[in-house]
Structure 1
Amino acid sequence: MTDLERATKKLASQLQNHPSVLAYQKAEEQLEELPELKEDVIQMKAYQQAFVLYQKIHKEKAAKQAGDKADVLSQTLETSPLVADYRQKMQDASDLLQYVTQRLEDRINEELGNGK
C-alpha cells in the first residue's frame, strides 16, 4: 500500500467518524424511520410533475390544482422539525467535506506550483 493510499484511508476514516458526519447519519436514520415523510416527498414530486404536464397541455385548472397540492406537501415537509434538523446536519457535513476538498486542492496546486 502506498503512502497516498494510507493517507486516503486515514482521511476517509476520520471523516466517517467526524461529529458532523455522524450527526447527519443519525438524522438520516431518524427520517428513514418515518415512511410517511418519504411518501409525502414522493407524492409532492408526482404533483409537481403533473403540474408541469398540465401546463404543457394547457390545462390550467388541473395545473393549478396539482401545484396547490404540491405546495401544501412542500410546506408540510419544510415545517417538519425532523426535516429541518436533517437539512442543517446535512449542510454541516457538506461544509466539512467542501472544506477538506478545498484544502486538498490548494495543497495539490501548491505542490504542483513548487515543482514537486
Structure 2
Amino acid sequence: MYYDELVGQLQEKIEHLGYVEDFKRVEQRLQEQTSLFEAQEEMKKLQKDAMLYREIGKMQAYKETSQAAQKIEKSLKMSPLVEEYFIKLQDVNDLVQYVTGEIERKVNILLENDEK
C-alpha cells in the first residue's frame, strides 16, 4: 500500500507540471478537431487496405492506396495543431523516460546495497 501511495503522489505531481498541462490542453484542442481525427482514420484505413493489396499481389491497388494514405499523412503533419501536439507529446515522453530511468537507477542502487 505504501508504494501505491508514493506512485500516486508522483503521478499527481507529474500531471500538474506545466508542460504536462500544456500537452493536455493541446490534446483537448486536437480532439475537438473532428476533421483531423476523421482524416487520421481514413489514413489508417488506406494503410490497412494497402497492406492487404500488397499481400494479395495487387500492386497497382497497393500503390494507389499507399499514395493516398501518404498524402493524408503529409497534410496532417502540416497542421500547426498536430505539429504542436507532437512537440508537446515528445516533451512528456522525455519526462516519462527520465522518471523511469531515475527510478530504475535508484532501485538498482538499493538492490546492489542489499546484496553487499
Could you tell me the TM-score, scaled by structure 2's length?
Answer: 0.91
2:108 maps to 109
Partners of 1:106 and 1:80 lie apart in 2 by 39
Question: 1:3-22 to 2 correspondence within 5 Å?
Answer: 4-22=3-21
1:48 maps to 47
1:69 maps to 68
Amino acid at match of 2:77: E
| In the alignment, structure 1 residue 30 sits paired with structure 2 residue 29 | yes
Partners of 1:106 and 1:27 lie apart in 2 by 32
User: Cα deviations across residues 23-76 of structure 1 (Å, max 9, x unaligned)?
Assistant: 111111010010000000100011111111111222222111111110110110
Amino acid at match of 1:35: T
User: Cα deviations across residues 69-114 of structure 1 (Å, max 9, x unaligned)?
Assistant: 1011011011111111000100101111110111111111101111
Amino acid at match of 2:25: K
- Aligned residues: percent identity? 32
Amino acid at match of 1:47: L
The runs of 5 or more residues in structure 2 that have no matched partner are none
Partners of 1:63 and 1:7 lie apart in 2 by 51
Structure 1 53/104 Cα, relative in aligned 2: closer, same or farther at 3 Å? Answer: same
Aligned-residue CA RMSD in angstroms? 1.4
Could you tell me the TM-score, scaled by structure 1's length?
Answer: 0.91
Structure 1 57/104 Cα, relative in aligned 2: closer, same or farther at 3 Å? Answer: same
Partners of 1:49 and 1:10 lie apart in 2 by 41
The runs of 5 or more residues in structure 1 that have no matched partner are none
| In the alignment, structure 1 residue 59 sits paired with structure 2 residue 58 | yes
Partners of 2:5 and 2:35 lie apart in 1 by 42
